[in-house]
Structure 1
């Protein structure tokens, strides 16, 4: 499995553009996934070109949208206009305009997600988690364990992790995405960091809405388990 950052607050080099948003390309054995689509279509387009991902004949087997916020849905039209989308997994409470757009696509299966669902072989969604801001996360089974992709972790990263551990018969090998720590007070932040530090997750890549301060603390406390990520970063699993 190869993971490549497309849109993020962080970047590997100045050839890429940052944005308050998140999008990741995942490729494995002839199966391509886009997890979330960032905020600004022009920044998405720029980074896609720099990363050599803008081949208009490219098939995207699965477009996965974590939740109904514009910093994760802003590039949906870019993908629907420029690529062949075989499957789209969207939260059941997605914006009406987005639902109309993806439902109108020919030869694309749209899955309105509410509960845990197997999307393809070894590829799953946690289903919708949370109450105030609902969100789904992507879970991929690998020989090394589960790889868990989170958008903003609005329901709480600990709750998402516990849901995955209770749903899937395997341990989490790699966790990547936004943890939404930047708004937490001191006590709550320390509790969440301690939770991740004491978990048995092999590698953790906090990015997007995790926040600079929280990210630096995690880098210190997780040591070799910490993985840097952003636009242009590549991870092989």
Structure 2
């Protein structure tokens, strides 16, 4: 069974407008009646708390899930109250309480799956899949060091799922335009209908994806 309703709120992104604070990093809050998740915690607790307060969002969650170990995705953890944290299995990962180190596909509930970590640029990185009733599957990524299209294709091949939406860092900032174009085209050819490249994705990826998501954006599904 898919989640009946999901609200995703971008708490930290490189782009923002007042009264929100911007920061180089990523944090997305996922809320549903069944489960509450924070996907990455951004670079620092002050920015995370500031933006959450503006949106009247409580940083008490069931799961704090990290895409990978970099500071701009883990630095705000001090501000988060969580029951369990999940990170890719990585001996260099920062030490947090109640931390589960993942090395496979991990089903939290039937509708929420943490993907197996893939290696990219010397570190393991995982994604998050959320199945929403009346919409389909959303795939959240952090920085996509293994390649966002490769991470998507891994999900297709191993789970038979073609996420309808992909949101997060595509790691295309400063990349040649041809590579950006090929990546966006490949994601669409694989099955992604809606793309929201934020954080480390670069402006050209946003332009091609026709996305204006930034800090403070709220996406309600279905």
TM-score for the superposition, normalised by structure 1: 0.84
Cα distance change, pair 130–183 in 1 and its aligned pair in 2 (3 A): farther
Name which of 34, 40, 52 aligns with 2:38.
34
Moved more, 68-77 or 137-146: 137-146
Find the aligned partners of 1:94 and 1:52 in 2 and give their Cα distance: 36
Q: Is the 8 A contact 2:177 2:204 kept in 1?
A: no
For 2:146, what is the secondary structure of its paired residue? Answer: coil
Find the aligned partners of 1:183 and 1:126 in 2 and give their Cα distance: 27
For 1:162, what is the secondary structure of its paired residue? Answer: helix
Aligned residue in 1 for 2:147: 156
How many correspondences in the alignment? 214
Give the 5 Å matches for 1:79-158. 79=80, 83=81, 85-93=82-90, 95=92, 98-99=94-95, 101-103=96-98, 110-131=99-120, 132-143=122-133, 144-158=135-149
Mind listing any 5+ residue stretches in structure 1 that lack a counterpart?
104-109, 220-226
Q: Is the 8 A contact 1:189 1:214 kept in 2?
A: yes
Q: Structure 1 residue 59: deviation in Å?
A: 3.8
Q: Is the 8 A contact 1:67 1:94 kept in 2?
A: no
Aligned residue in 1 for 2:10: 5
Name which of 185, 190, 201 aligns with 2:176.
185
Aligned residue in 2 for 1:23: 27
Aligned residue in 2 for 1:46: 50
Find the aligned partners of 1:59 and 1:21 in 2 and give their Cα distance: 20
Which portions of structure 1, spanning 4 or more consecutive aligned residues, are displaced by more than 3 angstroms? none
Mind listing any 5+ residue stretches in structure 2 that lack a counterpart?
1-5
Largest Rg, 1 or 2: 1
For 2:118, what is the secondary structure of its paired residue? Answer: coil
Choose between structure 1 and 2: higher helix proportion: 1
Moved more, 146-155 or 41-50: 41-50
The question of 1:228 aligning with 2:218 is answered no
Find the aligned partners of 2:91 and 2:128 in 1 and give their Cα distance: 17
Find the aligned partners of 1:173 and 1:148 in 2 and give their Cα distance: 8
Cα distance change, pair 94–61 in 1 and its aligned pair in 2 (3 A): farther
Aligned residue in 1 for 2:167: 176
CA RMSD of aligned residues (A): 1.8
Moved more, 44-53 or 68-77: 44-53
Q: Structure 1 residue 30: deviation in Å?
A: 4.1
Q: Is the 8 A contact 1:145 1:170 kept in 2?
A: no
TM-score for the superposition, normalised by structure 2: 0.89
Name which of 202, 206, 215 aligns with 1:211.
202
